[in-house]
Chain A
C-alpha cells in the first residue's frame, strides 16, 4: 500500500514544484522586463537604494503631483521600481522592434492597455494590466532618450477606473509616485 503511494506522492511533489515555479516565473515578469531593457539597449538599471543615496527626485513631494493634497494611487508596499538614469536609449528605427519584444515577453499574463510611441522625441510609454483577484497589477514602462523607468504597482478597482479614464495622465502619475520620496 505504502509502496503504491510513492509514485502518486512523487507526481504530486513534481506538480507542486512545477506550479510554484510557474507562478514564480509569472510573478517575475517585472524582472524580465528590466532585463529585456538592459539587453536591448545595453544599459544597467539602478535600484531604489542607489536613488536614495543619490537623492534623485527626492525633493519632489507627492503633493506636488496634483498641486494639492497627495492622492495615493498604489496600494501600500506594492511598488516595484527600476530606474535607468543618464544612459543612452537609442530607439531610432527600433521603436516597433522593442514594442514587439516587450509584448512578446508579457503576452498571456499581462494585457496591454496603452502603448504610445514617439519617433519624434524617442519616448515610449507602455501600460500593462494583470488581474489580481479583487485588485489589479499595473506595469508602466517609460523610455526616454536618456532615462527609463519600470514600475509595477497594485491598484484598487477605484484607482484602476481612474487609470482607464485617463490612461496617459494616471500612467504618468504612477511613475511619478513611484519615483517620489515623501519628505516626512
Chain B
C-alpha cells in the first residue's frame, strides 16, 4: 500500500513537472508573438503597405507539404518548428511621416523580459535594422526584425525557433522583404 502511495506521488510530481515545462514553453511561444495592430493606423499615411499573416496551422502545412525536391527540402529545414511569420511594412512618400511614438508599442513589447537585441547584425541597406531574439533557455523561441528608415518601416515577427545563421535566407520568402541582412555572430547584448 505504501509502495503504491509512493508510486502515485512520484507520478503526480513527474506529471506536474511535464505540465510546468510545457506551460513555460507555451508562454515563451506566446510572448514571442508580438501585437502589431498598433501599426495599422500607418496604412492611411503610407504610400505602400504590406501585411502578411502566416499562422501556426499554415506553417505546419508548408512544412509537411514541401518535401519533394532539394530546394523544398532546404526551405523545410529553414521553417522547421516555426509557429508563425507576421510582417508589416510601410513605405512613405516623404520623410517623418511616421514617428518614434508609432513604433513605441512594438519597442515596449521588445523591452519585456526574455527579449535580447542582437548587436552584431548588420544590413547592407541604409537605415537602422535591429534584430531582437526571445531566448527560451539556450534556444531561440522567436525573433523580431525592426527596420526603421526615414521613409520606410518594417516589422518582421517570426514565432518559434529560428536558426540565426540562416536568418538571411528568409528574405524574399514567406512575405518577408529583402532587408539586406548579413548573418549574425552568436554574441548578444542584453537590452536594458
Task: Using CB atoms and an 8 Å cutoff, list the residues of chain A in contact with chain B.
Answer: 95-96, 99, 111-120, 129, 131, 136, 156-158, 160-161, 164-168
In terms of DSSP, what is the predominant structure of the interface of chain B? Answer: mixed
Docked Cα-Cα span, A7 to B11, in Å, equals: 51
User: In the assembly, what is the distance between CA of A136 and CA of B49, in Å?
Assistant: 26
In the bound complex, CA of A167 to CA of B47 (Å) = 20
Alpha-carbon distance A170/B191, docked complex (angstroms): 39
> Which residues of A lie under 8 Å from residue B93 when comparing CB positions?
120
- Contact check, B62 vs A161: say whether CB atoms are below 8 A apart: yes
- For residues 49 through 70 of chain B, which have their beta carbon under 8 Å from a beta carbon of chain A? 49-55, 57-59, 61-62, 64-66, 68
A164 touches B43 (CB 8 A): no
Q: Chain B residues near A161 (CB, 8 Å)?
A: 61-62, 65-66, 72
Interface majority SS (helix, strand, loop, mixed), chain A: mixed
Among the listed B43, B53, B58, B66, which residue makes an inter-chain contact with A96, where contact means beta carbons less than 8 Å apart? B43
Separation of A118 and B173 alpha carbons in the complex (Å): 20
Closest to A164 in B: B62
Say how far A68's CB is from chain B's closest CB, in angstroms: 16
A113 touches B52 (CB 8 A): yes
Assess whether B44 is interfacial by the CB under 8 Å rule.
yes
Q: Of B46, B53, B173, which contacts A166 at CB under 8 A?
A: B173
Residues of A within 8 A of B175 (CB): 114, 167-168
Is there an interface contact between A116 and B174, defined as CB atoms closer than 8 Å? no
Given contacts A111-B55, A164-B54, A164-B174, contact A116 B49 (CB under 8 A): yes
A93 to B173, CA, bound (A): 30
Q: B57 contacts which chain A residues (CB < 8 A)?
A: 131
Whether A96 pairs with B44 at a CB distance below 8 angstroms is yes
Write 12 A-B pairs (CB below 8 A) sorted by A numbering: A95-B49, A99-B43, A113-B58, A114-B53, A118-B48, A119-B47, A161-B62, A164-B54, A164-B58, A165-B62, A165-B173, A166-B173
Task: Report yes or no: A129 in contact with B58, Cβ–Cβ below 8 A.
Answer: yes
Residue of B nearest to A126 (CB): B51
Which chain B positions have C-beta within 8 A of A157?
61, 64-65
Taking the closest CB of chain B, its distance from the CB of A106, in whole angstroms, is 13
How distant is A53 from chain B, measured CB to nearest CB, in Å?
A: 37
CB–CB B65/A160 < 8 A: yes
The CA-CA distance from A131 to B60 in the complex, in Å, is 13
Minimum CB–CB distance from B2 to chain A (whole Å) comes to 52
Q: Whole-angstrom distance between the alpha carbons of A131 and B68 in the complex? A: 23
Query: What separation, in Å, do the CA atoms of A158 and B69 have in the docked complex?
Result: 12
With a CB–CB cut-off of 8 A, which chain A residues contact B46?
117, 119
Complex-state Cα separation, A158 to B63, whole angstroms: 10
Q: How far is the CB of A132 from chain B (nearest CB, A)?
A: 12
Residue of B62, B75, B93, B174 ringed by the most chain A CB atoms within 10 A: B62
Report chain B residues within 8 Å CB of A158: 65-66, 68
User: In the docked arrangement, what's the CA distance between A72 and B50, Å?
Assistant: 27
